[in-house]
Structure 1
Amino acid sequence: MKYMLLIYSNPESWAGLSAEQREALGRSHEELSRELTEQGLLVSSAGLADPITTRTVSVRDDIPTTTDGPYAEAKEHLAGFYLVECENIDQAIDYAARMPDAKYVAVEVRPVMDSSGLEM
């Protein structure tokens, strides 16, 4: 089963980190990525650009509208993700808990539906 591990951040938590903490966070992600790759569990992972670069698109009456910024008005923003293949949600939660970001804001674990959509 595939699980999306969604990493959340906010400007205050990032600004509150020292240079050493930021470097340690990066090293932790490198180590976890390497481990997941070696175990054959990592499908994909990436960090996301600053939310200021976000564009939100909606279509109403067949007319597309684009606005700057993320859709949700919240402090937290999606900062990155890991797509992993795990035996069960508990294994995915264990990996999410090892992410350094979980100490500062949160990591969401969400099952990825296959084409049948039976996971709902």
Structure 2
Amino acid sequence: MKYMLLVYGAESCWTPEEREQCMRDSMAICQELESQGKFVAASPLESITTAKSVRVREGESLVTTGPFAETTEQLGGYYILDVETEQEAIDIARRIPPAAKGTVEVRPLAALPE
């Protein structure tokens, strides 16, 4: 089963040194999972200052600058895993460094019809 781990946190909670160490530690986890055949993809996102939100209401589109919601935590990156159980995905989410300062949401990917 494939799961997406969505990484949320306040961009301001990391020092440059902490962010660099977080990237190194996260990459090590990705390499470990890849060697086990459980890794599909992962990537940090650029700053929320680069985000655009698109909404369509009654046929009219509105594009605004910034993340989709007012919140203290922003989506900062993601992992896609192919693991046997939800519990395994949760156990991996616990190991991801940003979980110590933010939130890692675990969601199964929905299968699309053929």
| Both proteins in one fold, TM over 0.5 | yes
Structure 2: gaps (5+ residues): none
Aligned residue number for residue 90 of structure 1: 87
CA distance in 2, matches of 1:63, 1:45: 33
Letter aligned with residue 41 of structure 1: K
SS in 1 for 2:29: helix
Aligned residue number for residue 8 of structure 1: 8
Of 38, 41, 45 in structure 1, the residue corresponding to residue 38 of structure 2 is 41
Structure 1: gaps (5+ residues): none
- Are the structure 2 counterparts of residues 112 and 56 from structure 1 closer, same or farther at C-alpha, using a change threshold of 3 Å? same
CA distance in 2, matches of 1:46, 1:30: 10
CA distance in 1, matches of 2:83, 2:11: 31
TM-score by length of 2: 0.92
CA distance in 1, matches of 2:11, 2:48: 10
The total of aligned residue pairs comes to: 113
Letter aligned with residue 36 of structure 1: L
Letter aligned with residue 112 of structure 2: S
Runs (4+) of structure 1 exceeding 4 A deviation are none
Work out the percentage of aligned pairs sharing the same amino acid. Answer: 38
SS in 1 for 2:76: strand
